[in-house]
Amino acid sequence: MNARGLLKVKMLLSIVTASALIVLSACGGTVSESSQTTQKPAAVKPKEKTKLKVLGFGSWFKEGMDAVLKDASEKMGIELEIEKVPEGDDGVKLVRTRFATKDLPDILLWSAGLTESQNLGIPSETFVSQDDQPWISNFDKNSWKGAMDSEDGLFYGAPYGGMNSAVVLYNKKVFEGLELQVPKTLEEFWSVSEKIKKSGKIPVYLSGKDSWTLQLPPFMAQARPGLSEFFKKVNVNQAKLSDWSDQKRGLVFIQDVIAKGYVNKEFLSDSYDNAQKALADGDAGMYLMATWVMADISKKYPDKVNDIGAFIMPFEGNGADRVGLFAPNSMYIVKGKNQDAAQQFVNYFESIDTQNIYFANEGGIPAIKGVTVTKLTPAEIEAQKLIDSGRASAVYSISKYAWDSDFGSLTQGLAAGGKSPEQVQESIWNTFVKNAKSKDDPNFK
């Protein structure tokens, strides 16, 4: 009966591969030092009960939003009717179908930096600009330019949830036990790995069963200040993704770390879950991941969360390396009869009080300044310090066409030994060009 049951499970399974990718594919931006702005809480007035329709990806509604919804219902008299779509392409497809047939919600939750190319209509016609709203004074617009705004330079999205960062998570007990220092150069990284290996533990854990996790090393390597400049050229066919030397460093790293024998023996069969356990238990010393994994670790191994720290992967050394940043997701107000009520909710949501409620219940690094209550783990706090010191850069830049939809399986092919870094990059560039050509882009004739 699989004769018929294909499509359904296909959708179910796109989640397996894509649930983390949806977070990954959010466009990031560069965060400079955070300038302190004065706190201006939005005017909050209870009104008669309004019902707002919200459309968003299922996994985006967790403890933080639950707490906010409760509070909103009590204080604001606003009820949200939430419609959840699944992560990945099927959810995206569903939302696009809705917008194409004018079946619109009042608030859309979507990745940051919504542009026309995402096929949800022209932003200025469909969504309400947030530039004049009170909440934005607590938001560092300049740092997020080019990542959270649209093509017309206006900000349509209000941050929803926290940012995430790609770092090396390491077990402090393992490092202390072997008297190891956090490595600052690649040579130091290899010598640290050698010592961990000699002690009988796994230096670097790779979770190749979940192929998306293998993208993190190249993501960290590509987080460099020049990224958006590079992509401006790529978008008009003046530079090639196959010449992307920053990313290549990360791909070569995967090859090297396997060749040197510094990884777990069955790195193609071990999963994201296995990695969390190995890192928390101290069976593995390091894991190249993003800070979102800390939410899982603190749930599963609450007594071991404090053993885990974070440092920047030293591909180049000399302070050239960066924490890879993933922008927070965003809330977009859809133009229509409920837009005022929706705006009221967004202003309430972005107020410091509400943000405190949100982040008291859910992990992630707030993008709104002045949030005092958070639930950050030590590893996230260390990552936040690195971000605050200006040593962070976006993992992604606005790309005109998709290139990374099968980057996970390509990096898995690399790890399995079937592909070289050059072939992986050739492949993503071919994908980009193919997509450009199918859109009749004149630069790609």
Partner 1 sequence: MLRKQYYRYTMFLPGFAVFCLFFVLPSFGSFFYGFTNLDSGFTFTRFVGFENFINLMREPDNFIAFKNTLIFAFLTTFFKVGLGLLLAIFVNLKLKTTLYLRSMLFFPVILSTIAVSLAFTAMLHPERGILNEFLRWVHMDFLAQSWLTNREIVMYSVSMVEIWKYTGLSVILFLAALQSIPKEVTESAQLDGATGWKSLRHITFPLLLPVFNTSIVLHLIGGLKVFDLIIALTGGGPGNASMVINTLIYKSFTQGRNGEATAASFILFLLVLFIVLMVNRLLPKHETER
Partner 2 sequence: MRSWRKLILEVIAVIISSIIAIPLYITVINSFKNQAEAADLGLAFPTYWRLIENYKEVFIIAKIPQALGNSSILTFLGVIAIIFCCSTSAYIIQRRDNRFFRIVQKMLIAGMVLPISIITTYYLLDTLHLVRTHIGVTLIYMATCYSFITYLYISFFHGIPREMDEAAIIDGIGHHGLFWKVIFPLLKPINATALIIAFMEIWNDFTVPFYLLNTANRFTLSLTVYFFFGQHASEWNLVFADIVMVSLPIIVFYLFLQRYIVSGLTAGAVKG
Q: Is the dihedral of CA 152, 155, 160, 165 positive or negative?
A: positive
Residue 36: count other Cβ atoms within 10 Å of its Cβ: 8
Is there binding between residue 85 and partner 2 (CB under 8 A)?
A: yes
**Tokens found for residue 243:** 């010449």
Instruction: Find the helix packing angle between 245-259 and 407-415, rounded to 10°.
Output: 40
Q: Indicate the residue among 99 and 262 with the shorter CB distance to partner 1.
A: 99
Is 439 a binding residue for partner 2 by CB under 8 A? The answer is no
Nearer to partner 2, 61 or 429 (CB): 61
H or E segment to which residue 83 belongs = strand 78-85
Binding site for partner 1 (CB under 8 A): 1-3, 5-6, 8-10, 12-14, 16-17, 89, 92-93, 96-97, 100, 118-120, 208-209, 211, 265-266, 268-271, 401-402, 405-406, 408-409, 412-413, 415-416, 418-419, 431, 434-435, 438-440
Tokens of 283: 């069976």
The nearer residue to partner 1, 38 or 101, going by C-beta atoms, is: 101
Residue 97 is a binding residue for partner 2 (CB under 8 A) = yes
Interface residue with partner 2 among 273, 340, 388, 422 (CB under 8 A) is 273
- Letter for the amino acid at 284? A
Residue holding tokens 């600009």? 129
Q: Which is nearer to partner 1, 96 or 335 (CB)?
A: 96
Quick note: the x/- pattern for partner 2 over 65-84, rule CB under 8 A, is: ----------------xxxx
Q: Report, in Å, the least distance between residue 379 CB and partner 2.
A: 17
Q: Which partner, partner 2, partner 1, none, binds residue 58 by CB below 5 to 8 Å per kind?
A: partner 2
> Can residue 268 be called a binding residue for partner 2 (CB under 8 A)?
no
What is the C-alpha to C-alpha distance for residues 52 and 50, in angstroms, rounded to an integer? 6
Q: Token pair 């079946």 is at which residue?
A: 103
Q: Could you say which of partner 2, partner 1, none residue 341 binds, taking C-beta under 5 to 8 angstroms by partner kind? A: none
Q: By CB under 8 A, name the one of 2, 4, 35, 179 that touches partner 2.
A: 4
CB of residue 397 to partner 2, shortest distance in Å: 27
Q: Collect all residues with Cβ–Cβ distance below 8 Å to 158 and sequence separation of at least 6.
A: 130, 133, 135, 330, 331, 332, 346, 349, 350
d(CA 125, CA 104): 13
Query: CA nearest 218: which of 9, 432, 421, 8?
Result: 421
Task: Output the CA angle 240-110-311, nearest 5 degrees.
Answer: 65
**274-282, 350-358, 360-368, 402-410 -> range binding partner 2 (CB under 8 A):** 274-282
Pairing of strands 164-171, 323-326: antiparallel
Record the tokens describing residue 126, joined without a space. 């469909």
Helix or strand or coil: residue 290?
Answer: strand
Least Å from the CB of residue 381 to partner 2: 22
Q: Which does 413 bind (CB under 5 to 8 A by kind): partner 2, partner 1, none?
A: partner 1
Binding status of residue 444 toward partner 2 by CB under 8 A:
no
Which residues contribute to the site for partner 2 (CB under 8 A)? 1, 3-8, 11-12, 15-16, 19, 57-59, 61-62, 81-87, 90, 93-94, 97, 101, 272-274, 276-277, 296, 299-301
